[in-house]
Amino acid sequence: MLKSHLMRRVSMVLITAVLLTALSTWLVYTTMTTKQTIQLRAAELIPRAQSFALEADRYISGSLTKEQVLSRFNQRGKQSSDVLLLDYEGNAILCTESVPTPDVRQLSEHIESALGGGLSITAYRISGSSSFIVLVSAPVRDAEGKVEGALLLYSKVNNAEAALSTMTAPLILALGAVVLVVFALASTLVLRIVKPLRHMRDVSQRMSEGHFDLAADETAIGEVGQLGASLNRLSHALKRSISDLTFERNRLLQLLNSMSEGICAVDGAGKITHMNAALENLFPPGNPTDDPKLNAINHPRIWEAFDRAVSVGESDDFTLIEGDKNIRCLISPVNDGSGRRAGALGMFRDVSNDVRLENTRREYVANVSHEMRTPLTAMQGLVEPLRDGLVKDEKTRQRYYDIILREIKRLSRLINDIMELSRLQSGTEYIQTEIFKPGELVLDLCDRYTYIAEEKGLKLIFDAEMAKLPEVNSNPDRVEELLVILLDNAIKYTEKGSVTVGAKVESDKIIFSVSDTGRGISKQDQEYIFERFFKVDKAHSGMGSGLGLSIAREVLAAMGESIWVCSEEGKGSEFAFTVKRAPGEDK
């Protein structure tokens, strides 16, 4: 079977290659022969067309009749051809009976060339055939040399006859000979390969029975010998692997003991066969009892799950609360090689962090939903009466429109803040730093916010000497964004008094601060002030989304900076952050 299969594969590949080579040779030869035949036919037609142009002049002048002209044309032709004679206006005045009728657009250029005194040659394929028409156009001149018409001479070239007549038999004979030679070579090659392969097959069968001392033949030349050497190396590797099983088993036990997940295995009788150190950390020992299983894990539900796994093959997956820990328990039956239950295996993992993350995610989704629902609800309450035509007063309608626009902008800011915070926390937001002087940036920002503060009855205090602040290595857009966040919050949560922007230069950094005389922040709230959606005053839900300070903290963390707050209830708050000074700056 191996011999016939390999013989068939190799023979088919080689014969296919020969057939493809013959076919490509046939196509190339046919194309080149056709082109050469057309050129030769055109060369034959040119002198004939020039000669017959003289006879055509005599026909036009009336010296010869149509029969005389056609008779002389047929006598001079060595190849079968047809003629079409046109006067100077392009009208046909003489033609043979079998003149082909090509598209006039194909011949207009050649007719114009002949009427202009030129000689042209063209060839085109007959529709639905492999044959070509070769056309020569020549001018017809009178005795004085003036062009008085055009002569079109046609000749048919049969492509199949021209390309295949002399090549068919030699190609068939050559192809048959090559196929026979290839088949003979393939048979010899396969026979030389089969013998060592059969020997290697027998050796591999004995190796599967555990006889690893046998060796395959490595003396064969080429890949067959390499295959024998590989089989021998495989035999030695299997022998070493079997001898290392005990060592690997011990290593596996060490690996189980080093896992962070707790592992407990029981046999078919429900007795504990293995426990690792992580299990003891998850379930600290309690008061000693007479049951060794409860001394190991003092949770009856776990042992009920083990009993079900051993007795009925039922897996169980549940979570236990052990103090402040959430422990996920996965208990599954273990079968031996014959499919019978040989015991059960329990895996225990502390998922407290996962639970906290899930709670955080749910809280985040709830906060986002709440923040989005507020402007959407307001817009819905205004759009419905506008749609129903209940608002007749134009002034009231414009006020509704203003409120809707404000809520849309608020929703847009919320979405932008959420997206920016997500990018910063995922680490995909790259912040490019540069050397710049922050003084002018801070003063320009203070000038803009002076008007905003005055509108609310507040005074914005800043030092004009900040223009002399030394250079820093940071991102100017981000520094401006941070100051905008702090100034917006300070003005928003300050009812009366002032807001102060300050800067303190230290050896390696500049500390920017924004302080106010507002309501202040309690000690317990200061711990969460930089968390997402956290608001000191939950009643004022319309005063921002609670994301500004979270964004500020993430931006500064990405630049290696820090931000903090100092506040006392009833006396105001001060937010400050650091910006690195430029390297090489005189400090």
Q: Could you report the average pLDDT of every consecutive run of 10 residues in the chain (587 residues)?
A: 57 72 71 72 77 77 76 63 77 70 60 77 70 79 80 70 57 71 71 72 76 72 75 78 74 73 84 80 75 78 86 86 81 82 85 71 62 70 80 80 76 67 62 86 88 88 86 87 87 89 90 90 79 58 63 82 88 91 71
Q: Does an H or E element contain 95, and which?
A: strand 92-95
Residues 6+ apart with CB under 8 A from 160: 130, 131
Rounded CA separation 235/136 (Å): 80
In this structure, is residue 218 part of a structural domain?
yes
Same domain, 299 and 403: no
- CATH number of the domain bearing residue 106: 3.30.450.20
Number of C-beta neighbours around residue 557 at 10 A: 13
> Sign of torsion, CA 348 349 352 358?
negative
- CATH number of the domain bearing residue 383: 1.10.287.130
In this structure, is residue 42 part of a structural domain?
yes
- CATH number of the domain bearing residue 497: 3.30.565.10
Rounded CA separation 314/401 (Å): 64
Q: What is the pLDDT of residue 540?
A: 46
Number of C-beta neighbours around residue 489 at 10 A: 22
Same domain, 258 and 237: no
Q: What is the pLDDT of residue 445?
A: 87
Domain coverage including residue 190: 168-243
Q: What is the pLDDT of residue 580?
A: 92
What is the widest separation between alpha-carbon atoms in the chain? 141
Same domain, 449 and 545: yes
Same domain, 532 and 549: yes
Residues 6+ apart with CB under 8 A from 518: 490, 493, 494, 495, 497, 572, 573
pLDDT digits (tens, 9 = 90+) for 524-563: 777 777 776 666 555 444 455 567 788 788 888 888 888 9
Same domain, 450 and 559: yes
In this structure, is residue 587 part of a structural domain?
no
Same domain, 312 and 338: yes
In this structure, is residue 81 part of a structural domain?
yes
Rounded CA separation 555/420 (Å): 10
Residues 6+ apart with CB under 8 A from 552: 481, 482, 485, 486, 530, 563, 577
Among candidate residues 410, 426, 442, the one where a domain is terminated: 426
Torsion angles phi and psi, residue 133, rounded to 5: -110, 125
Domain count, the chain: 5
Same domain, 455 and 477: yes
The SS3 of residue 178 is helix
> If we measure between CA atoms, which residue out of 400, 389, 372 comes closest to residue 546?
372
Rounded CA separation 93/64 (Å): 13
Q: What is the pLDDT of residue 160?
A: 46
Give residue 223's identity as a one-letter amino acid code.
E
In this structure, is residue 585 part of a structural domain?
no
- Two structure tokens written together for 322: 């052990």
In this structure, is residue 554 part of a structural domain?
yes
DSSP 340-398: -EEEEEEEEEE-HHHHHHHHHHHHHHHHHHHHHHHHHHHHHHHHHHHHTT----HHHHH
Same domain, 7 and 146: yes
Q: Does an H or E element contain 437, and which?
A: none
Same domain, 404 and 457: no
Rounded CA separation 33/355 (Å): 82
Same domain, 112 and 233: no
Q: Is the Cβ–Cβ distance between 264 and 283 less than 8 Å? A: no
Among candidate residues 295, 321, 350, the one where a domain is terminated: 350
Q: Is the Cβ–Cβ distance between 343 and 273 less than 8 Å? A: yes
In this structure, is residue 150 part of a structural domain?
yes
Query: pTM (2 decimals)?
Result: 0.39
Same domain, 253 and 329: yes
Rounded CA separation 91/103 (Å): 15
Same domain, 448 and 415: no
Among candidate residues 197, 214, 243, the one where a domain is terminated: 243
In this structure, is residue 112 part of a structural domain?
yes
